[in-house]
Structure 1
Amino acid sequence: MPAPADAPPYILPMSLVIDSKVLLAAVEAHVEQFIQEEIDAAFVFHNFQHTCAVAEAATELADHYEVSEDDRLAIILAAWFHDTGYSGGWEDHEERSVINATNWLRAQGVDDEELIANVSGGIRATKMPQQPQNFLEEIVADADLSHLGDLSYWDRCGRVRQEFTLTRDMIMSDQEWIDFELAFMLNHEYHTEAARDMFGDRKSKHVKQLYKRKKALFPDQTPTNLEELEDSKKKKKKLKKLKKLIEKSEKKGDPDFKPGRGVETMYRATYRTHVNLSSIADNKANIMLSVNAIVLSVVVANLATKLDSNPHLVIPTIILVAVCLGSLFYAIQATRPKVTEGKSSMEDIKARRSNLLFFGNFYNMPIDDFHYGMMEMIRDEDFLYSSMTRDLYYLGVVLAKKYAFLRICYNIFLFGIIVAVVAFLVAIVYHNSTNPMLNQ
């Protein structure tokens, strides 16, 4: 917990600093291997990706409150181990997670009973319904459900539904699932102020979108969860609070805004124009490649072999060859493909900075990361249209470079050919005027 203002500064023994670094460096690799080997793949939500997200959120919350080093260590360890108990199924998995964490810590030589007790308490705090007993447990509990207010919510929500079907035989219709998810979201409250600030606004946005999906699916039905809310004053208060959050999000802009057909037509026409212009540029470059290749082959085959007997043609020939090579160079530059890194980071995807519409940005990515990014783009129209806009921009940048190289190529060929022809004429005239044999 944060130290009181009048408390002496917290000083951590050097041995514990080293142990903390060692434990935190080792726990991720251990948990990843454990989940891959011991937990059934049917748990598509409670997987290593979820565990990483919880550990990241727990670290962020702990750092926000500047908790002591040993409390921070307990929070992060609890986050890493909180779902390892799924190796024995979903029922009572928290207790198995406590056993896994305790056994691993003791195997690492940790004999700090307070640390083990704090890790165990943090793991138990994730049990539904959450009932954390102290501030450390509140942080772990909030981190466990941070996805409710995260950009990954829709992907994780779909995985929960799939996992319920695979592991609990809970097959729900769309209406049943939306009612279930709405009830869970409305009954949940973040325990810490930092979690409310970090995840609360986006969580209310997700609730609003769930309501809209329910209304779109069943426009003539009164939402069943609203009827349940009217049965008690407590639930009425939650509904009132939800309404205020929705109004607050509406002031920031409608998240479900859908651009009209005119905007989609604009994007379609602009993409088509860019593709056509790129094709035209490539055709122009191919023409210059063919013409200059023909000229060079003629020069090499016919003219170069006769320069010994016609030394006055050496300079014009050099000029002609230089013109063709310069023109070829810029024609090749206009068509030469550029090799990109082919990988977008998860940070860029979550920050909506990545453009996954161009293969050069994803061909080296793991399929799971690419799938996650595409699903986020499909669900978030702002992300989708932002990616399309960036794609158009970079297509325009590439086209500008193509046409700049082509302009240089054509200028070299046009003015170079003129200079070469003039050079040949001058050389021939000068040779004829200075050769006495020809003047007789």
Structure 2
Amino acid sequence: MNYQALLDEVKAHTLSFFNARQDNLHVYHNLSHTTDVVKAATQIANHYQLNDRDFFIVLTAAWFHDTGYLAGEAKGHEEKGAELAAAFLQERGFDAEGIQAVKNCILATRLPQQPHTLNERIVCDADLFHLGTDDFIDRNKLMRKEVEAIYHVQITKDDFRAKTISLFESHHYHTDYCQLLLNDKKEQNLQRLKAKAAAAGNKDAPATAPASLLAAETAARTSKKSDRPERGIETMFRISSNNHQRLSDMADNKAHIMITTTSIIISVLLSVMIRKLEEFPHLTIPVILLLGVCVITMVFSILATRPTLTGGTFTPADIAEKKVNLLFFGNFYKMTLEEYDQGMQQLMADRDFLYGNLIRDVHSQGIVLGRKYRLLRIAYNVFMFGIVISVVSFLIASIFFR
């Protein structure tokens, strides 16, 4: 299925849907919000390197997730949006399992959010992505304006601020990517709301409230700036380690595919073709050539996934000289708990030692990945060129030497 072409249809349909129903009431749940959610969903999905099908499911859910607002009431809009998405996809012949996955992603955005799959977590985090960005203040003002317009009520700033604080305190991002990327800014936005609520609640000294609020925000910004290098470094190491782990999983999957494919070909050659060589002697060379290609490919694929272990021990001198990486199990799996605990206590007490271990760990992961992908590249090249040569040899043998 051409998912990109179908996704283009989804985009065109929802754009037409919103443009035909735009009004002065839905100043928040409108096309602007929807495109922001789609953009955030794309960013998160790209980080997790979703396949084409899951990428289509996530973005389709993002496009349709708030269509229910303009096709009915705000209450139960998730169910309405899921129905609209299902009807559209059914008309295009999309499979029932995929339709249900899109519906589940939309329904997962109901508050309190309770996503179960990665796709659902991505859509949920994209829907409330703005809570951890600088756009939160403007978006929150639009939300208050929309609620007042739809329900014909006046909501004081204090009441709406209290509800927003409650939302912040009950919400958490579901993907580790958004947690690392947005949690700090989300916490800053929450503290700003609480500071304003405290200032507004100080009835005895209204004149000093703005100054107190300004001081609190200035202190928060100062603290944020002082914390930013440490947090930024830790975030960098987490993201790098997670990316390396995903790349390692991808390499293992590629090797597994190649091992499975070559195993099937070898089984067929040994069980069928070898016994037929007396009847078809002209195929001897092509069969041996194909068998050799599969064996070489399998060997390199196995080498790419074969684990290697180091000595598993370290000495007090290694700790004193800060030469050992205590974050890699291969350096301590033969040590006792007491010895490892002593080493870790020294590691956590020494900033340079700690960051040195993190650097060594990322570097070691990179070396392992380089070896894996180098061996996999050889395996795929041997298989690709070998298959071509084998097929050509089969054709030549069948045409000229039969």
**TM-score, length of structure 1 as denominator length:** 0.46
Aligned to 1:58: 41
Q: Secondary structure at the match of 1:67?
A: coil
Mapped pair 1:89 → 2:73? yes
Aligned to 2:234: none
Alignment of 1:212-251 (within 5 A): 212-220=195-203, 250-251=222-223
Q: 1:254 to 1:211 in 2, by over 3 A?
A: farther
Aligned-partner residue type, residue 253 of structure 1: K
1:149: Cα distance to partner? 0.9
Aligned-partner residue type, residue 202 of structure 2: P
Aligned to 1:193: 176
1:254: Cα distance to partner? 9.0
Aligned to 2:110: 127
Q: 1:116 to 1:207 in 2, by over 3 A?
A: same
Aligned to 1:151: 134
Mapped pair 1:182 → 2:165? yes
Aligned-partner residue type, residue 140 of structure 1: V
Q: How far apart, CA to CA, are the structure 2 residues paired with 1:157 and 1:111?
A: 36
1:253: Cα distance to partner? 3.1
Q: 1:248 to 1:159 in 2, by over 3 A?
A: closer
**What are structure 2's unaligned runs of at least 5 residues?**
205-217, 228-402
Aligned to 1:98: 82
CA RMSD of aligned residues (A): 2.4
Q: How far apart, CA to CA, are the structure 1 residues paired with 2:57 and 2:67?
A: 16
Alignment of 1:286-297 (within 5 A): none
1:125: Cα distance to partner? 0.6
Alignment of 1:4-403 (within 5 A): 16=1, 19-38=2-21, 40-86=23-69, 87-107=71-91, 109-220=92-203, 250-253=222-225
Q: How far apart, CA to CA, are the structure 1 residues paired with 2:198 and 2:93?
A: 54
Q: How far apart, CA to CA, are the structure 2 residues paired with 1:33 and 1:39?
A: 10
Q: 1:63 to 1:37 in 2, by over 3 A?
A: same
Q: How far apart, CA to CA, are the structure 2 residues paired with 1:144 and 1:99?
A: 18
Cα distance per residue 1:202-251 (max 9 Å; x no partner): 11111111122223323248xxxxxxxxxxxxxxxxxxxxxxxx998653
Superposed structure 1 runs of 4+ greater than 4 Å apart: 246-250
Q: Secondary structure at the match of 1:189?
A: coil
Q: Secondary structure at the match of 1:252?
A: helix
What is the percent sequence identity of the aligned residues?
32
Q: How far apart, CA to CA, are the structure 1 residues paired with 2:153 and 2:26?
A: 13
Q: How far apart, CA to CA, are the structure 1 residues paired with 2:146 and 2:193?
A: 20
Aligned to 1:353: none
Aligned-partner residue type, residue 158 of structure 2: Q
Q: Secondary structure at the match of 1:25?
A: helix
Q: How far apart, CA to CA, are the structure 1 residues paired with 2:144 and 2:226?
A: 27
Aligned to 2:395: none
Q: 1:166 to 1:81 in 2, by over 3 A?
A: same
Q: How far apart, CA to CA, are the structure 2 residues paired with 1:95 and 1:190?
A: 22
Q: How far apart, CA to CA, are the structure 2 residues paired with 1:132 and 1:249?
A: 33
1:30: Cα distance to partner? 1.5
Q: How far apart, CA to CA, are the structure 1 residues paired with 2:164 and 2:81?
A: 26
Aligned to 2:364: none
Q: How far apart, CA to CA, are the structure 1 residues paired with 2:106 and 2:42?
A: 15
Larger Rg: 1
Query: Do the aligned partners of 1:201 and 1:249 also contact (CA within 8 Å) in 2?
Result: no
Q: How far apart, CA to CA, are the structure 2 residues paired with 1:27 and 1:41?
A: 25
Q: 1:254 to 1:159 in 2, by over 3 A?
A: farther
1:128: Cα distance to partner? 1.3
Q: How far apart, CA to CA, are the structure 2 residues paired with 1:191 and 1:64?
A: 14
Q: How far apart, CA to CA, are the structure 1 residues paired with 2:16 and 2:180?
A: 34
Aligned-partner residue type, residue 151 of structure 2: R
Q: How far apart, CA to CA, are the structure 1 residues paired with 2:13 and 2:35?
A: 12
Query: Do the aligned partners of 1:79 and 1:123 also contact (CA within 8 Å) in 2?
Result: yes
Q: 1:129 to 1:170 in 2, by over 3 A?
A: farther
Q: How far apart, CA to CA, are the structure 2 residues paired with 1:213 and 1:254?
A: 23
Q: How far apart, CA to CA, are the structure 1 residues paired with 2:195 and 2:219?
A: 14
Query: Do the aligned partners of 2:57 and 2:98 also contact (CA within 8 Å) in 1?
Result: yes
1:121: Cα distance to partner? 0.5
Query: Do the aligned partners of 2:188 and 2:220 also contact (CA within 8 Å) in 1?
Result: no
1:60: Cα distance to partner? 0.8
Query: Do the aligned partners of 1:139 and 1:191 also contact (CA within 8 Å) in 2?
Result: yes
Aligned to 1:225: none
Query: Do the aligned partners of 2:14 and 2:63 also contact (CA within 8 Å) in 1?
Result: yes
Q: How far apart, CA to CA, are the structure 1 residues paired with 2:193 and 2:225?
A: 17
